[in-house]
Amino acid sequence: MTEETVRVLKSKIGDVDVAIVLGSGLGKLANEVEEAVHIPYSEIPGFLRSTAPGHAGELVYGVINGKHVLLMNGRFHMYEGYSPKDVVYPIEVMKMIGVKKLIVTNAAGGIKLSFVPGQLVFIKDIINFSFRNPLIGKNDEKIGPRFPDMSQPLSYEWIEKANAAIYEKMKQKLETGTYALMLGPSYETPAEIKMLRKLGADMVGMSTVPEIIKANHVGLEIMGISCITNMAAGVLKQPLSEKEVIEVANSVSSNFISIVKTIIERTC
């Protein structure tokens, strides 16, 4: 299947300087692409359909600030019922078509009490609390090693460079944090958030970690950005809702777009 997928994609797109996975409510970056080529997932062999709210279902190839980008607008989640292998299939395909740098983004709940909704945070480390791993099963040595090292799951060097670029251009610096993956789709309970805080997590969500594991497996350079869309359960005395997540993500999208464009222009 992978060969067929690669063949179809290569017939539609050229070289890629950076691939970006867009999280819930962060799809507006797709509007910034010049000379855009839209490829619906339904036209790509082996790709699933994204059923999650706030997620389109297409790849967008083109140019942002002079660099060739491949955006994955709409991702797959395990809570949708997809296997972790299916969730990370696009990452394997990216490697095969020659992608070297990958930025993964998501909407996340803030566990660290100093975080505020709307804040963007670089993911520096991850905790996999999903009880699942996309690499379970027979390993294909041609794709990656049986036991991939995870001692630096996201590139510290890239975070440094990106923060320097963002500071120079926008006089901003993003904090870094540890992202915990929960299966969902029910939001976490307050007791679970307390537990995750104790374990060292700064933010929580239902995605991204499988992709980071797979990207380490295939040897991509990876950066992660979380948009804190709400404080996690129990932090504030109010219920959590998907509407709030999408609204906050939308409201900070212009800042998100400026930051990501700067990262693309200066570090990719």
85 binds other proteins (CB under 8 A): no
Q: How far is the CB of 223 from other proteins (least distance, A)?
A: 26
Q: Work out whether the CA dihedral 42, 46, 52, 56 comes out positive or negative.
A: negative
Is beta strand 58-64 parallel, antiparallel or unpaired with respect to 67-73? antiparallel
Taking the complex as a whole, the smallest distance from the CB of residue 193 to other proteins amounts, in Å, to: 9
Cα–Cα dist 262/268, whole Å: 10
User: Which segment (165-173, 217-225, 232-240, 250-258) binds other proteins by CB under 8 A?
Assistant: 232-240
Taking CB under 8 A as the criterion, the residue among 58, 80, 92, 202 binding other proteins is 80
Q: Contacting other proteins (CB under 8 A), which of 98, 146, 183, 219?
A: 183
- Angstrom distance (rounded) from CA 132 to CA 136: 8
Nearest to 154 by CA among 200, 115, 110, 122: 122
C-alpha triplet 14, 16, 18: angle, nearest 5°:
160
186 binds other proteins (CB under 8 A): yes
Q: For residue 113, state whether it binds other proteins (rule: CB under 8 A).
A: no
User: What three-state secondary structure class fits 11?
Assistant: coil
Residue 231 beta carbon to other proteins: minimum distance, rounded to whole angstroms: 11
- Give the nearest distance from C-beta 246 to other proteins in angstroms: 11
Could you list the residues that contact other proteins (CB under 8 A)?
51-53, 78-81, 130-132, 183-192, 194-195, 198-199, 233-234, 238-242, 245
